[in-house]
Amino acid sequence: MCGIVAYLGKKTARPILLEGLKRLEYRGYDSAGIAIVTDGKLYLERRVGRVGNLEEAIDGRKEFDGSLGLCHTRWATHGGVTDFNAHPHRDDRHGIVVVHNGIIENYSALKQYLQEKGHTFASQTDTEVLAMLIGELYEGDIEKAVQAALREVTGAYAIAVICEKEPNVLVAARKGSPLMVGIGSDNEYIVASDGAAIIAHTARVIMLDDYNVVKITRDGFHTTDIHNTPLSPKVQQLEIDLEQIELGAFPHFMLKEIFEQPSSVRACIGGRMNIREGKVVLGGLSSFAKELTKASQVILTAQGTALHAAMIGRYMLEDLAKIPSHTEYASEFRYRNPVIEENTVVVAVSQSGETADTLAALYEAKERGALAIGVVNVVGSSIARETDAGVYLRVGPEIGVASTKAFIGQVGALALISFYMARKRYMSADQCIDMMKEMEAIPAKIEKILESAPRIKKITEKYIERENWLFLGRGYNYPTALEGALKLKEISYIHAEGMPAAEMKHGPIALINEGMPAVFIANRGRQYEKVMSNIQEVRSRGGHVIAVATEGDTEIAKHVQDVMYIPDVCEPLSPMLAVVPLQLMAYYAAVARGHDVDKPRNLAKSVTVE
Ligand code: M6R
């Protein structure tokens, strides 16, 4: 969603800030802004649209050549998409500017208080209220004013603040929204909401915790809480490679990440399977082995693609480990007054580890006494930190807004957790060895599917004029059908519905008309015959069937318009293969329809507001 980059050092801030902002574009935004202090004076510019518009607006303007500054990409929450609502926001008295991710929940009451004090507002945003509040409390020390203001606000924030009257100071703080400080050589600092904006300059960072306030000057930095109590955060290494966040030879991050999936799976499972002994090695769970063995139920909670992976995880936990399991939208779980019995394990699944609903569900589950496990990609993210234990996906940074390699990683990690829990209950070492061998073979099988990308592109292009699609699957591949439909919707803006193949007869079959594309996941498995009957039902009503089928199944080709083959695989792991042609279809459909795949309209990479 929103992105923050701020700089204090000896270099010209502008190129560092703009380059950082471009690296955060993937998160989704609608406007951008920058403020720089040059020769003791503050200069500010904001623009609706791309970072490129902002760059043009300040191009060649010497007043933006200072070495202290901050910038922001905004994804509108309070107030429309206008230049005035874009960040940075400034107070009306001291030249204080603020960039902010999150939501100040009590902004309305604060605004009224500030208006009574004579402040006038230029925007409809909660962030401007925070800037004014800092200004109202300013008595010559920007750090103190920020601390005082943050003691008054409720809600979530990651902020960076500068003040014209203190041209050698940058202040940043966080609560509930990620923020880190990159420590470069020679007293150079970059504050950012995402390591992608820092890694080109330094890998040494401190991750701010909730209620941390950091004051950076040209001589160093110190950290306190909002009551000015000194803290000593630890300096860590950012685990990101520049190569991972650059496109290389690919036209889009989404395609790059689809093609990375074989190595994503290898990274996810690497060192975690002792195939000889039938043992799963998950260091992140080892301290809770006892609790996991006696788990009475598992609730998996997530949003979007992560929820689809969680649904597959549920099937595996029930099928392999025989543990009663449920999945639920985190947004619903939180408000439904859920019953958490003794020995309940809640698994929060999230690529970013920052999804507000998933985080809130996690707090709720912990409050009610559940053991909280995270299945997260971003190391050190809020969900990773708030869970009792967890398993990282290890698939590397995912830049494409449409999640692909994280899905594969989530299913892979959940499979490992299922094997781990199954081994502690009913699964024999031999059975586990068989499953692990299947898992070990997945990367090469994905590679094989990727070789057929040109064929999948051709098939897709036959249907791109169609505005309504169905995605159908059963069992383990019902969630895959949901994921296929979500991918198509997100980036090609085609209406698609995913559902269990059997559900179609209960209503959606009425939608089928001549030529409507229906994508069936029809790989070999327990429900193959049933899926074949569903295919006939669509065909006899004029629908065009595109089947995802098992290599060697030549029979199916006689009953459908198009087939996309995947290698043979055991049922629990079949979604890790079946999803790949669906990801490619969505990608090729979006490209053929002329959409910017990595910047889909209205979408943010990580949804940090409820
Ligand atoms: O970061 P998370 O995995 O928690 O994100 C959850 C969803 O917002 C995310 O999967 C979303 O649905 C993606 N746009 C899917 O491609």
Asked if 480 and 578 touch (Cβ cutoff 8 Å), the reply is yes
pLDDT tier, 192 (very low <50, low <70, confident <90, very high otherwise): very high
CA dihedral 527, 532, 536, 538 (to 10 degrees): 60
- Return the pLDDT at 565: 98
Q: Rounded distance, CA 410 to CA 392, Å?
A: 9
Mutate to test the pocket of ligand 1, among 354, 355, 486 (most ligand atoms within 8 A of CB): 355
570 is catalytic: no
Least confident of 18-32, 288-302, 423-437: 18-32
Q: Which of 405, 396, 355, 361 is nearest to 378 (CA)?
A: 396
Q: Is residue 558 predicted with pLDDT exceeding 90?
A: yes
Question: Is cis: bond before 88, omega within 30 of 0?
Answer: yes
pLDDT at site 111:
97
**303: CA distance to ligand 1 center in Å?**
6
pLDDT reported for residue 347:
98
Check pLDDT > 80 for residue 365.
yes
Residue nearest to atom 11 of ligand 1 (CA): 304
Same fold for the domain at 3-244 and the one at 249-440? no
Structural contact between residues 363 and 210, judged by C-beta atoms closer than 8 angstroms:
no
Domain borders along the chain are 3-244, 249-440, 449-597
Dihedral sign for Cα atoms in the order 578, 580, 586, 592:
negative
Q: What is the pLDDT of residue 75?
A: 86
Closest CA to 569 of 455, 476, 454, 473: 476
Q: Which of 215, 256, 599, 605 is catalytic?
A: 605
> Of all atoms in ligand 1, which is nearest to the CA of residue 302?
4
Dump pLDDT digits (tens) for 493-520: 999 999 999 998 899 889 999 999 999 9
Q: CA torsion sign, 465 to 484 to 551 to 503?
A: negative
162 CA distance to ligand 1 middle (Å): 33
Ligand 1, CB within 6 Å, residue ranges = 303-306, 350-352, 355, 358, 401-403, 490, 603, 606-607
Q: Identify the weakest region by mean pLDDT among 72-81, 172-181, 443-452, 562-571.
A: 72-81
What does the pLDDT look like over 330-362, one tens digit per residue?
A: 999 988 888 898 999 999 999 999 999 999 999
The closest-lying atom of ligand 1 relative to the alpha carbon of residue 355 is 4
pLDDT at 245: 85
Residue 568 has pLDDT above 90, yes or no: yes
Task: Pull the structure tokens for residue 64.
Answer: 């933006």
What the block records as the tokens of 444 is 């090469």
DSSP bridge partners of 391: 375
The answer on pLDDT for 251 being more than 90 is yes
* Average pLDDT score over residue span 519-528: 95
Render pLDDT for 66-85 as a digit per residue (tens, 0 to 9): 999 999 999 887 778 888 88
pLDDT score recorded for residue 29? 84
Tell me how far CA of residue 80 lies from CA of 30, 75, 103, 124, in angstroms.
Answer: 10, 10, 15, 8
Q: Please give the CATH number for the structural domain made up of 449-597.
A: 3.40.50.10490
Q: How many whole angstroms separate alpha carbon 556 and alpha carbon 562?
A: 9
Does the structure show a pLDDT above 80 at 544?
yes
What is the Å distance from ligand 1's center to 403 Cα? Answer: 6
Convert the pLDDT of each residue in 123-157 to its tens digit. 989 999 999 999 999 999 999 999 999 999 999 89
Q: Please state, in angstroms and rounded to a whole number, the distance separating the CA atoms of residues 79 and 340.
A: 38
3-state secondary structure of 393: coil
Q: Which CATH superfamily is domain 3-244 in?
A: Aminohydrolase, N-terminal nucleophile (Ntn) domain (3.60.20.10)
Tell the residue nearest (CA) to atom 7 of ligand 1. Answer: 304
Express each pLDDT in 19-47 by its tens digit.
999 999 888 788 999 999 999 999 999 99
Question: What is the second-level CATH architecture of the domain 249-440?
Answer: 3-Layer(aba) Sandwich (3.40)
Q: What is the mean pLDDT of residues 429-443?
A: 97
pLDDT at 235: 95
Task: Say if residue 1's pLDDT is above 80.
Answer: no
- Residue 186, pLDDT score: 87
Pocket test for ligand 1, best of 27, 194, 352 (most atoms within 8 A of CB): 352
- Residue whose Cα lies nearest atom 14 of ligand 1: it is 402
Nearest-atom number in ligand 1 for the CA of 402 is: 16
* 124 or 418, higher pLDDT: 418
- pLDDT score recorded for residue 158: 95
Closest-CA residue, ligand 1 atom 4, reads 350
Which residue has the CA at smallest separation from atom 9 of ligand 1?
304
Percent pLDDT > 70 in the chain is 100
pLDDT above 80 for 374? yes
* DSSP result, 169-195: EEEEEEEBS--EEEE-SSS-EEEESSG
pLDDT digits (tens, 9 = 90+) for 465-478: 999 999 999 999 99
Distance 401 CA to ligand 1 centre (A): 8
* Residue owning tokens 């979408």: 603
- The residues, any chain, with a CB within 8 Å of residue 7's CB and separated by 6 or more, are 13, 16, 17, 20, 67, 68, 69, 70, 170, 188, 189, 190, 191
Residue nearest ligand 1's atom 12 by CA? 304
- Mean local confidence (pLDDT), 560-570: 97
pLDDT > 80? residue 564 = yes
C-alpha closest to that of 354 among 331, 385, 311, 395? 385
Average pLDDT for the chain: 95
Query: For position 269, what pLDDT does the model report?
Result: 97
Sheet containing strand 562-566, strands side by side: 495-500, 468-473, 517-522, 544-550, 562-566
Burial category of 540 from C-beta neighbours within 10 Å (exposed 0-12, middle 13-18, buried 19 and up): exposed
Q: Which 3 state secondary structure label does DSSP give 123?
A: coil
What is the residue with the minimal CA distance to atom 8 of ligand 1?
A: 304
Average pLDDT over residues 408-412: 98
What local confidence, expressed as pLDDT, does residue 501 receive? 93
Active-site residue identified among 2, 71, 163, 432: 2
Paired tokens of 299: 């609730």
Residue 339 to residue 361: CA distance in whole angstroms: 13
Q: Which one of 403, 579, 607 would you pick to mutate in the ligand 1 pocket, going by the greatest count of ligand atoms within 8 A of its CB?
A: 403
Query: With bands split at pLDDT 50, 70 and 90, how would you rate the model's confidence at 239?
Result: confident
